[in-house]
């Protein structure tokens, strides 16, 4: 159990194996845990995490300069402030709403149908490795308007970039590999961006190329960073969220039955999945001044990590927080994908996830397709459930069995 004297560490193997076992102890006995090995503070209470994410004067996103910028090849949205942030965020929001979002949903449907087809007659599918992960990559490529034939290449480079962002520590060899991936991705994008400037399509890269800030078009460096930002942010959490949603529903058959009867409940099931097991578990900030939390002062300049999974299970914010319940009244399901969300899976404040509406649409679309196709869905016998990741976290695999339905996929 985490107390100051037992030197409990969130960097330990025990914590990595199942962080959820330790969250209550952290919130109660070490709500501001200092990790000497990386000289960072870990916050676990809902109130404290919300404060860090919404007090923009006291906490900045400066850690992204070292955690993200080297592989993003330029500043991501979350690093920007003031008028520049407002303007560029608006550009990205526009690319994920209205008609653009409708096109994206069509891309989700088409890609999911294609990936699922071979598994439907077999009555088995691994929701992470057969469906979720390849789907996340394909949908993101379509949104960006990148060539589908390059998906293996892009997926490989993406993995390197994502590893850099989501690692707590990296060996020099891995670091080199990640930076190489980023450089190759940048080189791959350079001619694409030039081409879109000349002949724009209706994809996100073209929209970024056509956008202006202060009357001036975004530079290649700015477009590249935002493209990489979207590539990682749209890909990394998607397969995790999809698989976690189905795991929780299968483990709570009465809630699975409810969602089957009433697919409109899917949005609440996705929101509760994000609360109960957020795919992004850590959000870093830097304290810009000394800040006092219950009994502990975080000094100016310190790196702070918000433990989103712990905050989302704080009994001060949610009744019976360790229970998965899509009907819970304190979820505020209707607000769960907006700035008024009570859970913190999308962060909070000015930098709250810009892709929340896209994420909801993507997962809702795939889940609504899957439910009627996966009749009597169950875990494959003899498999051991395992999750991995400290920064982003999700199932390593989710092998399922089901009874094939006659007809299978309807024509899209």
Report d(CA 34, CA 42) in Å as an integer: 6
In angstroms, how far apart are the furthest CA atoms of the chain?
A: 64
With vertex at residue 234, the alpha carbon angle to CA 229 and CA 239, rounded to the nearest 5 degrees, is 140
In whole angstroms, give the CA distance from residue 178 to residue 183: 9
C-beta of 80 vs 405, nearer to ligand 2IO: 80
CB of 260 closer than 8 Å to CB of 371:
yes
User: Restricting to residues 339-398, which ones interact with ligand 2IO according to CB under 6 A?
Assistant: 392
Cα–Cα dist 326/339, whole Å: 20
Contacting ligand 2IO (CB under 6 A), which of 43, 58, 64, 361? 64
Binding mask 77-96 for ligand 2IO (x = CB under 6 A): -x------------------
Sheet arrangement for strand 282-287: 32-35, 40-43, 303-307, 282-287, 59-60
Q: Which residues contact 338 (CB under 8 A, 6 or more apart)?
A: 356
Report in angstroms how near the CB of residue 174 gets to ligand 2IO at its nearest.
17
Q: Judge contact between 307 and 345, C-beta under 8 A.
A: no
Q: Which stretch in 130-138, 229-237, 261-269, 396-404 sits in contact with ligand 2IO by CB under 6 A?
A: 229-237
Does the protein bind ligand 2IO through residue 233 (CB under 6 A)? yes
Pair of tokens at residue 221: 């460096």
Question: Would you say 232 or 291 has its CB closer to ligand 2IO?
Answer: 232
Smallest separation (angstroms) from ligand 2IO to the CB of 255: 27
First to last CA, the chain: 52
CB of 152 to ligand 2IO, least distance (A): 21
Name the one range near ligand 2IO by CB under 6 A: 127-135, 169-177, 211-219, 230-238.
Answer: 230-238
Q: Does 266 bind ligand 2IO (CB under 6 A)?
A: no
d(CA 54, CA 77): 16
204 binds ligand 2IO (CB under 6 A): no
233/374 with CB nearer ligand 2IO? 233
Of 245 and 282, which CB lies nearer to ligand 2IO in the complex structure? 282
Interatomic CA distance for residues 267 and 211, integer angstroms: 32
Minimum Å distance from CB 128 to ligand 2IO? 16
Range in contact with ligand 2IO (rule: CB under 6 A) among 138-146, 228-236, 308-316, 397-405: 228-236
Interface with ligand 2IO includes 226 (CB under 6 A)? no
236 near ligand 2IO, rule: CB under 6 A: yes
What residues between 127 and 156 interact with ligand 2IO by CB under 6 A? none
Quote the least distance from Cβ 310 to ligand 2IO, whole Å: 16
Q: Structure tokens of 116?
A: 């699922």
Taking residue 390's Cβ as centre, other Cβ atoms within 10 Å add up to 17
Q: Name which position in 280, 298, 311, 370 contacts ligand 2IO (CB under 6 A).
A: 280
- Please give the full DSSP string across 14-31, using - where no structure is assigned: HHHH-GGGTHHHHHHH-S
Which of 2, 237, 278, 389 is close enough to bind ligand 2IO by CB under 6 A? 237
Gyration radius from the chain CA atoms = 21
> Site residues (CB under 6 A) for ligand 2IO?
64, 68, 76, 78, 165, 229, 232-233, 236-237, 280, 283, 392
């Amino acid at each position: 159990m985490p107390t100051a004297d037992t030197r409990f560490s969130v960097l330990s193997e025990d914590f990595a194996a199942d962080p959820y076992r330790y969250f209550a102890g952290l919130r109660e006995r070490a709500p501001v845990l200092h990790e000497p090995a990386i000289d960072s503070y870990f916050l676990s209470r809902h109130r404290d995490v919300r404060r860090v994410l919404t007090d923009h004067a006291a906490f900045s996103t400066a850690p992204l300069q070292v955690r993200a910028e080297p592989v993003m090849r330029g500043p991501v949205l979350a690093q920007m402030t003031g008028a520049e942030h407002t303007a560029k965020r608006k550009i990205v929001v526009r690319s994920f709403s209205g008609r653009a979002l409708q096109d994206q949903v069509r891309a989700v449907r088409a890609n999911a149908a294609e990936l699922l087809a071979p598994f439907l007659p077999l009555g088995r599918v691994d929701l992470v490795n057969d469906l979720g992960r390849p789907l996340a990559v394909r949908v993101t490529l379509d949104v960006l308007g990148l060539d589908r034939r390059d998906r293996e290449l892009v997926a490989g480079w993406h993995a390197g970039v994502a590893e850099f962002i989501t690692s707590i520590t990296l060996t020099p060899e891995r670091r080199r590999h990640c930076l190489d991936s980023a450089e190759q991705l940048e080189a791959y994008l350079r001619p694409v961006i030039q081409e879109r400037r000349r002949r724009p399509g209706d994809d996100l890269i073209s929209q970024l190329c056509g956008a202006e800030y202060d009357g001036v078009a975004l530079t290649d460096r700015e477009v590249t960073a935002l493209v990489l930002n979207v590539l990682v942010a749209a890909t990394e959490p998607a397969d995790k969220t999809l698989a976690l949603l189905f795991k929780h529903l299968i483990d709570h058959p009465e809630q699975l039955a409810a969602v089957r009867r009433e697919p409109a409940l899917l949005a609440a099931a996705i929101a509760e999945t994000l609360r109960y097991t957020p795919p992004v578990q850590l959000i870093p900030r830097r304290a810009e001044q000394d800040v006092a939390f219950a009994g502990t002062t975080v000094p100016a300049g310190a790196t702070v990590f918000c433990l989103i999974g712990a905050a989302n299970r704080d009994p001060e914010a949610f009744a019976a927080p360790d229970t998965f319940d899509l009907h819970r009244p304190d979820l505020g399901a209707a607000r769960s994908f907006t700035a008024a969300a009570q859970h913190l899976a999308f962060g909070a404040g000015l930098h709250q996830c810009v892709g929340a509406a896209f994420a909801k649409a993507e997962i809702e679309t795939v889940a609504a397709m899957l439910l009627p196709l996966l009749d009597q869905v169950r875990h494959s016998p003899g498999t051991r459930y395992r999750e991995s990741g400290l920064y982003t976290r999700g199932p390593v695999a989710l092998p399922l069995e089901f009874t094939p339905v006659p007809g299978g996929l309807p024509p899209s």
